[in-house]
């Protein structure tokens, strides 16, 4: 009986498959990283569009994507802003939190001066009102901004444009204007929202000058203030859960099919 033995060299095929697998893994890792970044941006966009109160606090507490291992990325929200995400079913007293770092007055009461931005840009305000929802928080914000703009125009004071020294041409610094504008009294307060409006121009360490339009209100622990600074209940926003669903759909309907199609014909 005749026999023969053939030695087949498959090293090139093995190397090809190994390189092929490495390219797929590289694409998968890159796609996961991209999805993590997109998910972070998605949460930020949801917060920008849907949050009114505490928007800045939420965004400041939101961490960028952090890589834990080759295929795991984590986005976190600091615990002190978690209630904005999860909601609060009952109205709550803001005074304890605001007064945590407050000062002590001569009569033994704790107090704090709270600045409120009255010079917002459209991107900082909630969504525009619609025909279906004409009385949104966004509509209220825009009404306040319109009052400020109208009053400043009447006084020949710019809204956002920096004011400069007519002699040197350099931006003026410090408190430039202080005025009262007739406006609504919010909540159970006793001061119109746009009373005590101050306009500042401040130079930063990098040399840039920022213009701000701000009112200040005082919060104290006095007995006659017990019904003030009470924030309404907060509806759960669930931005993280919404983004999880969005990210899974992105992966299943766009990213994964794109990777499969790239290598299917090879």
Mean pLDDT of 256-262: 86
Does the pLDDT of residue 158 top 80, yes or no?
yes
Least confident of 138-147, 165-174, 191-200, 230-239: 138-147
Q: Which token pair is 58?
A: 């939420």
Inter-residue contact 227 to 219 (CB < 8 Å): no
Q: Tokens 């746009």 appear where?
A: 194
Alpha-carbon distance of 216 to 223, in angstroms, equals 21
Alpha-carbon distance of 239 to 43, in angstroms, equals 6
pLDDT at residue 171, rounded to an integer: 92
Asked if residue 241 and residue 224 are part of one domain, the reply reads: no
Asked if residue 221 and residue 261 are part of one domain, the reply reads: no
Domain with 22 in it:
14-90+233-266
Inter-residue contact 63 to 77 (CB < 8 Å): yes
Most confident among 134-138, 142-146, 188-192, 240-244 (mean pLDDT) = 240-244
Mean pLDDT of 8-14: 65
Asked if residue 107 and residue 78 are part of one domain, the reply reads: no
Inter-residue contact 201 to 163 (CB < 8 Å): yes
Per-residue pLDDT band at 134 (split at 50, 70, 90): very low
Asked if residue 73 and residue 85 are part of one domain, the reply reads: yes
Asked if residue 199 and residue 109 are part of one domain, the reply reads: yes
Asked if residue 247 and residue 121 are part of one domain, the reply reads: no
pLDDT at residue 120, rounded to an integer: 57
Alpha-carbon distance of 123 to 227, in angstroms, equals 32
pLDDT at residue 132, rounded to an integer: 47
Q: Which token pair is 250?
A: 């992105």
Say how many domains are in the chain.
Answer: 2
Considering the domain boundaries, does residue 133 fall inside one? yes
Asked if residue 219 and residue 204 are part of one domain, the reply reads: yes
Asked if residue 191 and residue 106 are part of one domain, the reply reads: yes
Asked if residue 134 and residue 59 are part of one domain, the reply reads: no
Does the pLDDT of residue 218 top 60, yes or no?
yes
Per-residue pLDDT band at 192 (split at 50, 70, 90): confident
pLDDT tens digits for 56-113?
A: 889 999 999 999 988 899 999 998 888 889 888 778 777 777 778 778 778 888 877 7
Inter-residue contact 144 to 118 (CB < 8 Å): yes
Asked if residue 258 and residue 224 are part of one domain, the reply reads: no
Does the pLDDT of residue 129 top 80, yes or no?
no
pLDDT tens digits for 207-217?
A: 899 988 888 77
Alpha-carbon distance of 81 to 184, in angstroms, equals 29
Helix (H) or strand (E) holding 103: strand 103-104
Asked if residue 249 and residue 144 are part of one domain, the reply reads: no
Inter-residue contact 24 to 264 (CB < 8 Å): no
pLDDT at residue 43, rounded to an integer: 95
Residue scoring higher pLDDT (237 or 186): 237
């Amino acid at each position: 009986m005749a026999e023969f033995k053939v030695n087949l060299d498959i090293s090139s095929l093995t190397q090809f498959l190994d390189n092929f697998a490495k390219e797929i893994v590289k694409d998968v890792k890159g796609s996961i990283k991209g999805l993590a970044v997109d998910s972070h941006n998605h949460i930020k966009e949801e917060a920008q569009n849907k949050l009114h109160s505490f928007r800045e606090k939420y965004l400041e507490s939101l961490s960028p994507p952090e890589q834990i291992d080759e295929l795991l990325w984590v986005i976190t929200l600091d615990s002190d802003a978690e209630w904005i995400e999860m909601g609060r079913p009952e109205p709550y007293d803001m005074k304890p939190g605001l007064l945590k770092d407050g000062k002590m007055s001569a009569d033994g009461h704790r107090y704090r001066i709270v600045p409120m931005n009255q010079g917002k840009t459209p991107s900082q305000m909630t969504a525009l009102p619609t025909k279906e929802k004409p009385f949104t928080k966004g509509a209220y914000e825009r009404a306040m901004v319109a009052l400020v703009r109208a009053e400043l125009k009447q006084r020949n004071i710019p809204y956002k444009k920096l004011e400069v020294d007519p002699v040197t041409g350099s931006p003026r610094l410090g408190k430039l204007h202080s005025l009262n504008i007739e406006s609504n009294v919010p909540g159970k307060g006793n001061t119109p929202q746009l009373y005590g409006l101050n306009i500042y121009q401040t130079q930063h360490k990098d040399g840039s000058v920022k213009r701000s339009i701000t009112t200040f209100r005082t919060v104290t622990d006095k007995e006659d203030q017990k019904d003030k600074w009470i924030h309404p209940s907060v509806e759960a926003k669930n931005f993280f859960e919404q983004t999880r669903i969005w990210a899974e759909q992105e992966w299943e309907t766009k990213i994964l099919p794109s990777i499969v199609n790239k290598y299917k014909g090879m």
